[in-house]
Amino acid sequence: MVNIGVLVSGGGTNLQALLDAQDSGILKSGRVVTVVSSREGAYALERAAKYGVEGIAIPRKAYETAEAYDEALVAHLTSRKVDVVVLAGFLSIIGPRMVAAFPNRIINVHPALIPSFCGKGFYGLHVHEAALSYGVKVTGATVHFVNEVTDGGAIILQKAVAVEEGDTPETLQRRVMEQAEWELLPRATELLCAGKLTVTGRQVSIKN
């Protein structure tokens, strides 16, 4: 059984999808052993507690540099014998120290079809505001490996979601979560934990 560490910053809806996937058997090759929030008081920590999973705040603002924060994250995850790291609405940028500590073992869910509406500054509602402003008819979500480039790692899974007439950033955000993020993230996590993903450059192959 693979030990999973989940990094969060807010409400933890994607964390909830992972925990529900454990219960339903979709996620069967790994288990969430620790949840780390970059902010104190995040509701995601309450979700973890309800499942009997350790939840801890390691606030980004408590560290003067990104490097020091990375070191703190690595120290905690290593102490919990974490094998796979899942970013589930984690708003801090992962640095080289984390990437080196967990090579091809950190994944992130992004609320758009990368390479659209991704990179620095594209997070949360900003992504959906950009999609609506641009006038796209289709958006979606992407689960990808994490490297030193923001949203730049190899793509594992994507799913398209229609943009509907009269959508607001909030309604679009909800539809993308419900129709794509909550489905893709548990699937990708299981594939990684089960050893079914092979990365070659920017290409990911999935074993049957």
Q: Let me know if 128 is a catalytic residue.
A: no
Q: State the Cα–Cα distance between residues 90 and 18, nearest whole angstrom.
A: 14
Q: What is the pLDDT of residues 169-202, one digit of tens each?
A: 999 999 999 999 999 999 999 999 999 999 998 8
**Sequence ranges of the domains in the chain:** 2-206
Looking at residue 196, its pLDDT comes to: 97
Which pLDDT band holds residue 208 (cuts at 50, 70, 90)?
confident
Taking 90 as the threshold, does the pLDDT of residue 46 lie above it?
yes
Looking at residue 143, its pLDDT comes to: 98
**Measuring CA to CA, how many Å separate 88 from each of 64, 107, 123, 133?**
24, 9, 12, 25
Q: What is the CATH number of domain 2-206?
A: 3.40.50.170
Taking 90 as the threshold, does the pLDDT of residue 85 lie above it?
yes
Looking at residue 120, its pLDDT comes to: 87
- Over residues 8-25, mean pLDDT: 97
Looking at residue 18, its pLDDT comes to: 98
Looking at residue 103, its pLDDT comes to: 95
Taking 90 as the threshold, does the pLDDT of residue 168 lie above it?
yes
In this structure, are strands 203-206 and 197-200 parallel, antiparallel, or unpaired? Answer: antiparallel
Percent of the chain having pLDDT more than 70?
100
Select which of 110, 126, 128, 144 is catalytic.
110
Looking at residue 201, its pLDDT comes to: 84
In DSSP notation, 167-195 reads --HHHHHHHHIIIIIHHHHHHHHHHHHTT
Taking 90 as the threshold, does the pLDDT of residue 20 lie above it?
yes
- Over residues 109-114, mean pLDDT: 96
